[in-house]
């Protein structure tokens, strides 16, 4: 059964999660012939929680925002609650379905997109990148893209709790938060979740 996740740090924001994402993942693998991606959308990650917490301090009325690799779109929903026009993007169609349900739950509108946007640029003034530095091939594609976005003037905010492939030398510290995540499959709950700003080369 899905459950509602609420964070004391984010009053009024709530999203659907699975209480036990790992058994859910195993059940999905058992059911499917073709391999589905892990149900990352079933968990609220510290990266997006930190971003969402930081966005509470921002005025985003009318600002176009990309929530890249949105998962359940916690960060995008926080931006939309501050008045932003948010594109929530994820290559996992189930993540987009959860984002749609979460947007409905929080009475905000998200524009959902499922293409791989890495390397593209629709002129977003603000790009949110929550918890994606977990896999080397993805990070190798991501870094030049974020460089490109920042070089033309976008602000890129990254939420990350210190994942394996996080390039700390490429960012400035913005804020650190003690955001309580569900333990689930995450091994980094004992670290503060941090918001960073991608810096120009």
Exposed (0-12), middle (13-18) or buried (19+): which is 61, by Cβ within 10 Å? exposed
Interface with ligand SAM, residue 78, by CB under 6 A: no
How far apart CA 107 and CA 116 sit, in angstroms, is 27
Give the shortest CB-134-to-ligand SAM separation in angstroms: 6
Residue (of 157, 48, 63, 159) closest to 99 by Cα position: 48
Judged by CB, which is closer to ligand SAM: 61, or 73?
Answer: 73
CA 40 distance to own-chain centroid? 10
Judged by CB, which is closer to ligand SAM: 25, or 61?
Answer: 25
Of 22-30, 39-47, 119-127, 188-196: span binding ligand SAM (CB under 6 A): 39-47
- Residue 47 near residue 74, CB atoms below 8 Å: no
What pairs with residue 14 in β-bridges? 6
Judged by CB, which is closer to ligand SAM: 87, or 92?
Answer: 92
How far apart CA 6 and CA 166 sit, in angstroms, is 27
Size of the site for ligand SAM (CB under 6 A): 22
Candidate list 15, 96, 103, 132; residue touching ligand SAM; CB under 6 A: 132
Candidate list 18, 42, 52, 74; residue touching ligand SAM; CB under 6 A: 74
Site for ligand SAM, rule CB under 6 A: 37, 40-41, 44-45, 47-48, 69-71, 74, 89-92, 95, 116, 118, 130-132, 138
């Amino acid at each position: 059964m899905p459950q509602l996740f609420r964070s004391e740090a984010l009053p009024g924001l709530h999203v659907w999660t699975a209480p036990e994402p790992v058994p859910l993942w195993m059940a999905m693998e058992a059911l499917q012939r073709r391999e589905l991606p892990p149900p990352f959308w079933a968990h609220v990650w510290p990266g997006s929680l930190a971003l969402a917490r930081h966005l509470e301090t921002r005025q985003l009325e009318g600002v176009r925002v990309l929530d890249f690799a949105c998962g359940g779109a916690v960060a995008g929903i926080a931006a939309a609650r501050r008045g932003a026009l948010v594109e929530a993007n994820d290559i996992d169609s189930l993540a987009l379905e959860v984002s749609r349900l979460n947007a409905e739950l929080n009475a905000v509108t998200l524009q959902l997109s499922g293409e791989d946007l890495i390397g593209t640029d629709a002129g977003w003034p603000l790009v949110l990148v929550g918890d994606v530095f977990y896999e080397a091939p993805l990070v190798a594609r991501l870094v030049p893209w974020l460089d490109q976005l920042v070089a033309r003037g976008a602000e890129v905010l990254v939420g990350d709790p210190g994942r394996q492939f996080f390039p700390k030398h490429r960012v400035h510290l913005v804020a650190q938060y003690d955001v309580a995540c569900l333990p689930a499959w995450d091994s980094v709950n004992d670290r503060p979740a941090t918001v960073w700003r991608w810096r120009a080369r």
